[in-house]
Amino acid sequence: MDGSKVAVTFQPQGKHVRVPKGTTIREASARAGIVLDYPCGGQGTCGKCRVRVVENVLPPHEKERSALRPHELDAGLRLACQSAIQESTVIEIPETSLLASTYKILADAQDENIIVTDPPVHKRYIELTKPSLEDTAPDLDRVRRAYGRFDADLDMLRSLPRRLRETNFAGTAVVSDGQLIDFEPGNTERECFAAAFDIGTTTLVGSLIDLTSGAERATTSRMNPQTSHGDDVLSRILHARDDQDGLAHLHDAVVNAVNEMIGELVTQAGTRLERVYEVTFAGNTTMQHMLLSISPNALGEVPFVSAMGPAVEAAASQFGVRIHPRGRGYVFPVIGGFVGGDTIAGMLATGLANYNTPTLFIDIGTNGEIVLINEGKLLAASCAAGPAFEGARIGHGMRAAVGAIEEVRLNDRIDYATIGDAKPVGICGSALIDLAAELLRTGIVMSQGMLLTPDLLPSDIPEDIRRRIRPNEAGGEFVLVDAHETQTGAPIVLTQRDIRELQLATGAIRAGIAILLRNGGVAPEALDRVLVAGAFGNYIRCENAQRMGLLPSQVDRARIQFVGNTSLTGARLVATSLRARELAEDLRRRTQHIDLACDPNFQMEFAEAMFFPEVV
């Protein structure tokens, strides 16, 4: 059998595998334990999984021809998701093709420490009177007498007699949600943890909270590995619907990642899994369905119906999450359609319901969520911004990893900054906004999104800028970094098509804001405050986001506030407070879902919002 196999060596990892002829590079790299990034789900369209085939290069496939440039193809670059291996070979994996190896994720909540007032888990060391002829009370009653009221399920009841006798009737009772879940030997009152997670379409962030103090004891983050099945929620919903094991794949992917992250959290904090009694999750509707292994099929077609509504509270083990064996999981309630738990978490974290002037909450992620409060009334909408701001669908777009250009300024020349001060590799979201805004400001891009040809440019454009505009049949491109300055030796450009992608992403959010404001009877200039949430939010320049139309230009910059990862903050709140869970349910009931797809004005708003604002 081995005769039909070929040898593959991956560099710089130095991994070596033997695979059958015809195996894709994707499959071979997976077998070597190397996880590449497939934002498009392995369709061969995004070009993110590029690798260099060093030996025995085969001719490129058609999809590779469109995703890669001729000089890249000549240099041996191929797409791991498309190319099969026919001969023994050596393959180089660029850092930028690896999944989240150096992903820069904002894992900050607004407040590092939360005051724990009414946690869902209580621990108390108790010494019981031992049974005697004078005191033959049942085991369960004996513990209750010392601890106070609780219930115990059948499993606990089965193990209680042994536990009590092993500990000689002294130990720490652990009560979660009114249920006795453990009786631990010795006094372990000080070791009581909860984990809180933000389950984003693109990013997972976890936090470990000490329930005795509220202190955050560890944080971790990584890419959502579901990204390999598509970079937006819709492609994942379709995968869940159309592939027999699709939902299982997606569920397993996120749950395995969560379990690994919990492992990292407890290691960082110097504790162990069995001391984590509670885990909470905030995510958008689709992510929460997949986390819980609930079919999202009805979210994949008109009228986009969510299966879940109220918060789900269940044994964490019931959806595969490993904490204490009897630990509980909490997943945020869903308002409706795509307006999910992360939105409620954001409202909770910002105290949005308490704002008594017209206030807008915007969470910019792969899905954009928008909430308006006006005169105590809450309206919420979700818009499919797509992953453009996360670098996908943009020719040289990339995530905020080392080598990503994160800031751009146009003066006489171009100034830019990269993450890690590395030689540039691509452009991440905040720099895309900068660049779009600067191109609009200088008049190089017109409000309808057209990149002007050099002959049509305003006369005051400096020469170093002017030379960067290269017309071609596809509408031209703007050279942000010349070939000799980049890691790859190829220039980094923004194409006319990239600008269209940015228009789509921005337009979706702008249209959503416009419709929400109209439904709430609030004129844009009447907005008193805008709260911008999301990992991405903290890195963008407000004036540029306003100039390109992502944030309403009518609001004074001083009234725009970046509030960080409110999804995680909300998850931390419900991990530490039962009252917060009541508030979450209250927010769910109070918030009216505005389904943009259903709004008769949406298509027109969207078409209008596709234009960038006129230069002011």
Residue whose pair of structure tokens reads 């797809």 in the numeric block: 597
Q: Is 131 in the site for its own copies (CB under 8 A)?
A: yes
Binding part of the chain for its own copies, among 42-50, 161-169, 275-283, 454-462 by CB under 8 A, reads 161-169
Judged by CB under 8 A, the chain residues 288 through 317 that form the site for its own copies are 292-295, 297-298, 302-310, 312, 314
CA distance readout (Å), 586 to 348, 382, 452: 10, 19, 51
Judged by CB under 8 A, the chain residues 324 through 363 that form the site for its own copies are 334, 336-337
Binding residue (CB under 8 A) for its own copies from 90, 157, 526, 578? 157
Q: What DSSP line would sit under 546-600, residue for residue?
A: HHTTSS-TTS-GGGEEEEE-HHHHHHHHHHH-HHHHHHHHHHHHHEEE--GGG-T
**Cα separation of 500 and 394, whole Å?**
10
Q: Is 132 in the site for its own copies (CB under 8 A)?
A: yes
Binding residue (CB under 8 A) for its own copies from 75, 140, 457, 479? 140
Assigned token pair, 284: 């958008």
Work out how close the CB of 371 gets to its own copies at its nearest, in angstroms, rounded to a whole number. Answer: 17
Q: Is 499 in the site for its own copies (CB under 8 A)?
A: no
> 217 near 269, Cβ under 8 Å?
yes
Q: Is 149 in the site for its own copies (CB under 8 A)?
A: no
Q: Is 603 in the site for its own copies (CB under 8 A)?
A: no
Work out how close the CB of 153 gets to its own copies at its nearest, in angstroms, rounded to a whole number. Answer: 6
Binding residue (CB under 8 A) for its own copies from 318, 354, 411, 453? 318
- φ and ψ at 466, to 5 degrees? -55, -40
Q: Is 139 in the site for its own copies (CB under 8 A)?
A: yes
What is the CB neighbour count within 10 angstroms for residue 342? 34
**Which residue number, 318 or 603, has a Cβ lying nearer to its own copies?**
318
Shortest CA distance to 293 belongs to which of 346, 226, 343? 226
Work out how close the CB of 519 gets to its own copies at its nearest, in angstroms, rounded to a whole number. Answer: 14
Work out how close the CB of 208 gets to its own copies at its nearest, in angstroms, rounded to a whole number. Answer: 24
**Which residue number, 214 or 337, has a Cβ lying nearer to its own copies?**
337
* Direct distance between the N- and C-terminal alpha carbons of the chain, in angstroms, rounded to an integer: 70
What is the CB neighbour count within 10 angstroms for residue 239? 22
Work out how close the CB of 429 gets to its own copies at its nearest, in angstroms, rounded to a whole number. Answer: 30
**Which residue number, 465 or 584, has a Cβ lying nearer to its own copies?**
584
Q: Is 138 in the site for its own copies (CB under 8 A)?
A: yes
* DSSP code at position 132: B
Binding residue (CB under 8 A) for its own copies from 21, 69, 71, 162? 162
Assigned token pair, 440: 């609009």
Number of residues that bind its own copies (CB under 8 A): 48
Write down the H helix ranges in 40-152.
62-67, 70-74, 139-147
**Cα separation of 400 and 101, whole Å?**
11
> 438 near 408, Cβ under 8 Å?
yes
Contact residues toward its own copies (CB under 8 A) are 131-141, 144, 151, 153-155, 157-158, 160-162, 165, 292-295, 297-298, 302-310, 312, 314, 318-319, 334, 336-337, 593, 595, 597-598
